[in-house]
Amino acid sequence: MRSLARTILALSALAVLALAPAPGLAQGCVDYENYIHYLGWGDMEGAVAMDVAVAEYDGGNWGALASGEAWLDFLGLSDSVDFGDDWFVELPGEAMDLFFHERALFVACGSGGLRIVKVINPYQGNPSIAVHGLSLPGVALGVWVDDGVAYVACGFGGVCVVDVDDIAHPVLLDQVNVYGYAEEVCFHDGLVCAAIGMDGLALFAPADPDDVMVIDTPGYAREVHAQGSRAFVADGANGMQIVDLTSLSLANAITLVSDDASDIPVLGLNVRDDRAYLACEEAGLVVVDIATPGGEAISGWIDTPGIAQGVAPWHSYVLVADGSRGIFVADVLNTASVPVTGNVVLPDPGVDVAAADGYVYVVGGFNGLRIFDADDLSPVASAPIPEESGSVLVAGDLALVGGDLMLRLFDVANPTAPQPLDSLALSCRPDGMAVDGGFAYLACDYAGLMVVDISDPENIFLDDSVWPNHFWSNAKDVVVDGGFIYLAQDAGPLMILSASTLNEVGLHWDTAGAVALAKVDDILYLAGTEEGLELVDVSNPVLPEHMWSHGMPGEEVGASAADVAAQASGTTRFAYLAYEWDGYGDLIVMNASEGQWDPLPYGSADAWDTVKAIALYGESVYMVASYNDGAGGLLQRAPAQCMPTAAPETPVPVLRLGGYPNPFNPATTLRFEQPALGRAALRVYDVSGRLVRTLIDGPLGAGGHTVVWDGRDDAGRPLATGVYLARLESAGRVETRKLTLLK
């Protein structure tokens, strides 16, 4: 999906600042789950998600999905983001926008006007559904309900005001001309705010509908939410425009502009407390901190699998209406993105990267071989290469560079002064390379597999070449381990050869093709041409076994895998998948641990432009990219996912069932285990992620502990009925449990 790392953030109408991570010292590994991260998505069959709304009552949650068609999809929700059994209801028009109010769902139904859906027993699997409503002038595109009145954005029909005190018999009270094409509407502090397309934002008081004020926004106003003294407008290609409702004028803006000067449209937004959530088309979900007027800033973002069009906060999560991919879910308890901790501009596109012994090696275009310090990315050496280079591998004191019809070797025993050794003319350009036992194995595109004797680095020669019987497409990458050669082709099965005879011993037909391979222990990780990421068990290389596969964001609109890396500790495994789409790319981290049969993307780090290759080394992952205009490239570093070093010998801290009783009134008791003397923090947040109570923050002895929470905030004020999140931080772990306060 489109990268935001090269986004421009406009903080005011006159001041524009560039967002770019500054080079710095290497940051240690992080837990990607502690940042804004993926939880999964629900592919609602036959639906194109345009908007999503969530109901939170009766001790449970359920949601609705507007598809732009003559039906609504309903879905059950749970803490585990299990969408449960869904059902649907037919409508007389196209479901365009949704609003829950007092246990009824109000639907802007396009040509079908306003429809009101009453659902009884939504959690029983056979709910009772009644649909009421009325036709309206124009096309119903947006709806908002407040105090028994529905305000409906009706395109050129303006804003229709409807009495919905009796939902079975709604009555049209007024039709207000807002001097534009009414796309969406909200009601706040006595004002109706309507997004009116090219004409901006219209404001009027229901008591005086003839006095309409129009504030022109620079783009196409699609959606509006208001809070406090500000209105937030999804203004299409001009990002989120912020209107000061006191002065009735444009204040600040958050605009998203890619490095090639193309705009990233904001199609939908939602506001809760101190955050605005933006649905940004192919850029996915963007979170904006709006706590300080005039200081609004992007706090994090994450790509979604499809085209983000609408958003709805749900507890500490955000649901995204994601086009043809249905519903996407992100955890936004912490809205920060995993940081990119450094970058280096390259004169030519970066194509491949390797890392070893404290140094990073980069090739691409006519860069030659460039070597950087792995800690601070400072350049330490370079070696010119006359031809265009495309692959690099470091094995001991040797660096192998595959170029256009050439393989070159360098002595890098002293990386600050690389020395050229021998070179070998080839009939191809190696895409992937591996070294084992004095031989280099080259995945040579249309020429198949080539084996080069490098036992004497100053006198290398072609030892053999292989075009196996089932090799019907280009060889893209190779791994050699345990006497076997694993060979990926871009449009065919994974091939397994004997390293001693070069004979074919196994095929993995479940793979339609792969562009890169990584092997850790007995697991092979494939960056697939169709599947995204695939894991294959090769404990018996003759009979490889498919474990699971998972797609990647944007694959339905042309995203493709570029490279893969992996790490493991016992049964804990993580895979790093680099992918690119339309000149942009990202790094996605997947939890591939044993027993994770429904693999989830675990988090992401935003890369710049077209990501080409990644290398995992120490506590960092290194990425190379090429500008989408081909004028240059980048070397970037992001923290790796932290891995366990050993199984814990003492119990890890957990919250016992989230406390008892639960639901509770007026108090609940939280129980947990502290494995050893150390610092612990136990805090309570509301569903928007706002801290409401700190129960423990300091040193704590080992053993069992109980804490009573009386349902009050830090100021001693009783909190309202609702769902709250207790979060325990102890011994390097974080546990979160849901608590329900009833009054």
Question: Would you place residue 258 in the very low, low, confident or very high pLDDT band (cuts 50, 70, 90)?
Answer: low
CA–CA distance, 391 with 429 (Å, rounded to integer): 9
> Do the beta carbons of residue 616 and residue 576 sit within 8 Å?
yes
What is the model's pLDDT at position 15?
26
Name every residue whose Cβ is closer than 8 Å to that of residue 671 and which is 6 or more positions away in sequence.
655, 656, 659, 660, 704, 705, 706
Q: Between 619 and 256, whose confidence is greater?
A: 619
Of all residues in the chain, what percent carry a pLDDT higher than 70?
A: 86
pLDDT at 646: 55
Q: Which of 316, 331, 346 is the last residue before a domain boundary?
A: 331
Spell 255-293 as b/e; 16+ CB within 10 A means b. Answer: bbbbbeeebbbbbbbbbbebbbbbbbbbbbbbbbbbeee
pLDDT, position 628 = 60
Per-residue burial over 686-696, b = 16 or more CB atoms within 10 Å of its CB, e = otherwise: bbebeebbeeb
Kindly tell me if the per-residue pLDDT of 736 is higher than 50: yes
The pLDDT of residue 610: 75
CB 239 within 8 A of CB 297: no
What is Dmax (Cα atoms) for the chain? 90
The DSSP annotation for 490-556 comes to: TTS-EEEEETTT--EEEEETT---EEEEEEETTEEEEEESSSSEEEEE-SSTTS-EEEEEE--TTGG
CATH number of domain containing 114: 2.130.10.10
Q: What is the pLDDT of residues 43-78, one digit of tens each?
A: 666 678 888 888 766 556 777 888 888 888 877 776
Tell me what the pLDDT averaged over the chain comes to. Answer: 85
Return d(Cα 95, Cα 109) in angstroms, integer. Answer: 5
Tracing tokens 């697939």 back to the chain, one arrives at 528
Assess whether pLDDT exceeds 90 at residue 422.
yes
Judge whether 598 lies within some domain: no
Give the predicted TM-score (pTM) of the model: 0.77
Q: Please state, in angstroms and as integers, the Cα–Cα distance from residue 499 to each residue in 429, 473, 480, 493, 565, following that order.
A: 22, 21, 8, 18, 23
- 135-144, 159-168, 456-465, 546-555: least confidently modelled range: 546-555
Residue 318 lies in a domain: yes
* β-strand partners of 636: 343, 623
Bridge partners for 624 per DSSP: 613, 635
Phi and psi dihedrals of 556, rounded to 5? -75, -10
* pLDDT tens digits, 687-724: 777 899 999 988 877 777 788 899 999 988 999 888 88
Tens of pLDDT, residues 568-589: 998 899 999 988 766 566 788 8
In a domain, 610, yes or no: no
- Sequence-separated (6 or more) residues with CB below 8 Å from residue 272: 313, 688
From 314, 331, 348, the end of a domain falls on 331
Is there a domain that residue 18 lies in?
no
Q: From edge to edge, which strands make up the β-sheet containing 484-489?
A: 475-481, 484-489, 494-498, 504-508
Q: Which residues pair with 567 in a beta bridge?
A: 574
| Interacting residues of 723 by C-beta distance below 8 A, sequence separation 6+ | 56, 315, 687, 738, 739, 740, 741
Q: Rounded to a whole number, what is the distance in angstroms from the first to the last CA of the chain?
A: 45
Q: Could you tell me if 52 and 98 are in contact, meaning their C-beta atoms sit under 8 angstroms apart?
A: yes
Length of the chain: 743
Which pLDDT belongs to residue 388?
Answer: 93
Residues 6+ apart with CB under 8 A from 730: 653, 672, 674, 675, 678, 679, 680, 681, 700
Q: Does residue 479 lie in a domain region? A: no
Q: Which of 10-19, 202-211, 336-345 has the lowest mean pLDDT?
A: 10-19
Answer yes or no: are the C-beta atoms of 86 and 72 closer than 8 Å: no
Element (H, E) at 572: strand 572-581
Q: What is the mean pLDDT of residues 528-532?
A: 78
What is the residue type of 652? V
pLDDT digits (tens, 9 = 90+) for 70-115: 888 877 776 545 565 567 788 999 999 999 988 899 999 999 999 9
DSSP codes, 573-632: EEEEEEEEETTEEEEEEEE--TT-SS-EEEEEEEPPSEEEEEEEETTEEEEEEE-TTSS-
Closest CA to 394 of 425, 364, 435: 435
Structural domain for 706, as ranges:
668-741
DSSP 233-301: EE-BTT-EEEEETTTTEEEEEE--B-TTS-B--B-EEEEETTEEEEE-BTT-EEEEE-SSTT--EEEEE
Look at 120-129, 146-155, 374-383, 734-743 and tell me which has the smallest mean pLDDT.
120-129
User: Using CA atoms, how far apart are residues 743 and 91, in angstroms rounded to an integer?
Assistant: 36
Separation of alpha carbons 485 and 66, rounded Å: 50
CB 224 within 8 A of CB 234: yes
pLDDT tops 90 at residue 153: yes
Dist. CA 632–CA 482, nearest whole Å: 39
pLDDT of residue 27: 61
As given in the structure block, the two tokens for residue 350 are 């970066």
Residue 475 confidence (pLDDT) above 90: yes
Instruction: Tokens 């070893």: give the residue.
Output: 356
pLDDT score at 653: 45
Write the CATH number for 692: 2.60.40.4070
List, in order, residues 6 or more apart from 591 with CB less than 8 Å away: 573, 574, 599, 600, 602
CA distance 172 to 656: 52
H/E segment holding residue 369: strand 369-373
Output 14 or 683, whichever has higher pLDDT: 683
Supply the DSSP symbol for 654.
Answer: -
Tell me the DSSP string of 113-173.
-EEEEEEESTTSSS-EEEEEEE--SS-B-EEEEETTEEEEE-BTT-EEEEE-SSTTS-EEE
Higher-pLDDT residue of 388 and 628 is 388
CB 640 within 8 A of CB 619: yes
> Which amino acid makes up residue 668?
T
Task: With H, G, I as helix, E, B as strand and everything else as coil, classify residue 5.
Answer: coil
Residue 520 lies in a domain: no
Whole-angstrom Cα distance, residue 614 to residue 633? 14
Q: Of 331, 361, 380, at which residue does a domain stop?
A: 331
**Phi, psi dihedrals of residue 309, rounded to the nearest 5°:** -125, -25
Handedness of CA 212, 217, 220, 226 (dihedral sign): negative
Question: Strand 722-730 relative to strand 733-741: parallel, antiparallel, unpaired?
Answer: antiparallel
Cβ contact 132:170 at 8 Å: yes
The answer, yes or no, to whether the previous bond of 493 is cis (omega within 30 of 0) is: no
Backbone φ and ψ of 529, nearest 5°? -75, -20
- Domain assignment present for residue 414? The answer is no
Do 5 and 343 contact (CB within 8 A), yes or no? no
Q: Which of 174-183, 344-353, 516-525 has the lowest mean pLDDT?
A: 344-353
Is residue 462 a contact partner of residue 431, using CB atoms and an 8 Å limit? no
Structural domain count of the chain: 2
- 639-689 per-position pLDDT tens digit: 999 998 754 444 444 445 457 677 788 888 887 777 777 788 888 988 777
Question: Does 103 or 217 have the greater pLDDT score?
Answer: 217
Residue 381 near residue 643, CB atoms below 8 Å: no
The torsion angle over the Cα atoms of residues 74, 75, 77 and 81, rounded to 10 degrees, is: -140
pLDDT recorded at residue 649: 46
Closest CA to 134 of 172, 94, 177: 172
